[in-house]
């Protein structure tokens, strides 16, 4: 290629022709070498760009690896927290089950029946041996009968005699046999009432018909009625206040 106004040299002589041919040949070699250089430079630029990309990808991999390790550590901590919470839940659940079992077996007062004349009984395990005593069996039976009939006035000594609490008159074998039979009858009757009471109470608890606050308020009211009854009952020897019975609190 030549620029505008550039005239070709005169090729009149053979020497000029040879010189021009050499220049043209060298010029073509220079152009070829330059083109190769351009290709090499382009390859170098591409390779350099690839190296930067590879370096960038490597940095990204390192960053993601660090995040993955941190996530694993956090996940391990979360798993430990979940395991600890699970253990706490299991412990609280077992404590609740034990408490419910204790409430069912060792509560102090349980309603015997949901009727309008509600009766109450003591079922604390520490007092079971006391209630096996004939005197207490007769006393409890008499109080229940008086509460059920609504005619609570005073405890009479004859009822104690009828339930085997008298030490006076009949000490022969036949009298002792009748007394023992009566004791068993009263004991079985009390046990039956306790079983019925437990069934009724569990049904009420299960159906949600019984709440602790309402029952506590009613028990306190019952406590006042019992205190008034004790104050009005003239029983010098067998006063309830002198007996070792559980207190309602």
Q: Would you list the domain boundaries of the chain?
A: 18-106, 108-242
Q: Which two tokens stand for residue 237?
A: 């020897």
Bigger pLDDT: 122 vs 198: 198
Q: Above 70 in pLDDT, residue 199?
A: yes
pTM of this structure: 0.25
Measure the CA–CA gap between 225 and 211, rounded to whole angstroms: 21
Confidence at residue 237, expressed as pLDDT on a 0 to 100 scale: 47
Q: Above 80 in pLDDT, residue 216?
A: no
Write the pLDDT tens digit of every residue in 29-82: 888 888 888 888 877 777 777 677 777 777 777 888 888 888 888 878 877 888
Q: Which of 157-171, 201-215, 226-240 has the highest mean pLDDT?
A: 201-215
Confidence at residue 127, expressed as pLDDT on a 0 to 100 scale: 43
Measure the CA–CA gap between 244 and 130, rounded to whole angstroms: 9
The residues, ordered by sequence, that sit 6+ positions from 131 with a Cβ below 8 Å of its Cβ are 122, 137, 140, 190
Q: What is the mean pLDDT of residues 208-217?
A: 73
- Helices 173-207 & 134-149, crossing angle to 10 degrees? 50
Confidence at residue 44, expressed as pLDDT on a 0 to 100 scale: 75
Q: Above 70 in pLDDT, residue 148?
A: no
Write the pLDDT tens digit of every residue in 95-111: 777 776 665 554 444 44
Write the pLDDT tens digit of every residue in 130-147: 444 455 555 556 656 655
Measure the CA–CA gap between 74 and 72, rounded to whole angstroms: 5
What is the band of 246 on the pLDDT scale with cuts at 50, 70, 90? low
């Amino acid at each position: 290629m030549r620029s505008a106004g550039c005239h070709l040299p005169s090729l009149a002589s053979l020497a000029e022709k040879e010189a021009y041919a050499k220049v043209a040949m060298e010029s073509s070699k220079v152009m070829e070498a330059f083109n190769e250089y351009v290709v090499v430079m382009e390859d170098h630029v591409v390779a350099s760009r690839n190296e930067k990309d590879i370096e960038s990808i490597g940095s990204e991999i390192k960053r993601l690896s660090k995040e993955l390790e941190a996530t694993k550590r956090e996940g391990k901590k979360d798993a430990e927290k979940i395991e600890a919470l699970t253990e706490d839940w299991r412990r609280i659940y077992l404590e609740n089950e034990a408490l419910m079992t204790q409430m069912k077996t060792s509560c102090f007062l349980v309603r015997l029946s949901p009727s309008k004349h509600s009766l109450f009984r003591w079922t604390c395990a520490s007092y079971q041996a006391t209630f096996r005593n004939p005197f207490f069996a007769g006393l409890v039976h008499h109080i229940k009968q008086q509460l059920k009939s609504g005619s609570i006035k005073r405890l009479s000594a004859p009822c104690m005699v009828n339930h085997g609490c008298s030490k006076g008159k009949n000490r022969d074998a036949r009298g002792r046999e009748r007394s023992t039979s009566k004791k068993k009858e009263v004991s079985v009757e009390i046990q039956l009432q306790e079983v019925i009471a437990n069934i009724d109470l569990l049904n009420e608890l299960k159906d949600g018909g019984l709440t602790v606050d309402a029952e506590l308020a009613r028990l306190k009211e019952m406590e006042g009625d019992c205190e008034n009854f004790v104050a009005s009952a003239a029983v010098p020897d067998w006063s309830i206040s002198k007996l070792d019975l559980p207190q309602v609190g």
